[in-house]
Amino acid sequence: MAVSIYTTPSCGYCRIAKDFFQKNGVSYTEYDVARDPQKAQEMVRKSGQMGVPVIDVHGRIIVGFNQQEIEKALHRA
């Protein structure tokens, strides 16, 4: 399953999302959009949003930390 998260260093909800993934044994790829302009553009293209976190669970885009939606997406993938 492909899970990626677009983050910034100062984002509290990004830390919460990463902690959730770690506690649940979900492997993910993190992209720091504050340091990587190309990934920032990719994030906006995928989500239409500038805010973080943007979470991509096997092509399903979730903006913000919404545990219920993340769990649904993980179980469908």
User: What is the arithmetic mean of pLDDT over 6-33?
Assistant: 97
Interatomic CA distance for residues 6 and 4, integer angstroms: 7
What is the residue range of 25's domain?
A: 3-76
Nearest 5 degrees, angle CA 37-CA 21-CA 46? 35
Average pLDDT in the chain:
96
Domain count, the chain: 1
Task: Please report, for the domain that includes residue 50, its CATH number.
Answer: 3.40.30.10
What does the buried/exposed string (b/e) look like for 28-47 if buried means 16 or more CB atoms within 10 Å of the residue's CB? beebbbeeeeebbebbeeeb
- Backbone angles phi and psi of 7, in degrees to 5: -135, 175
Q: How does pLDDT run across 35-68, given as a tens digit for each residue? A: 999 999 999 999 999 999 999 999 999 999 999 9
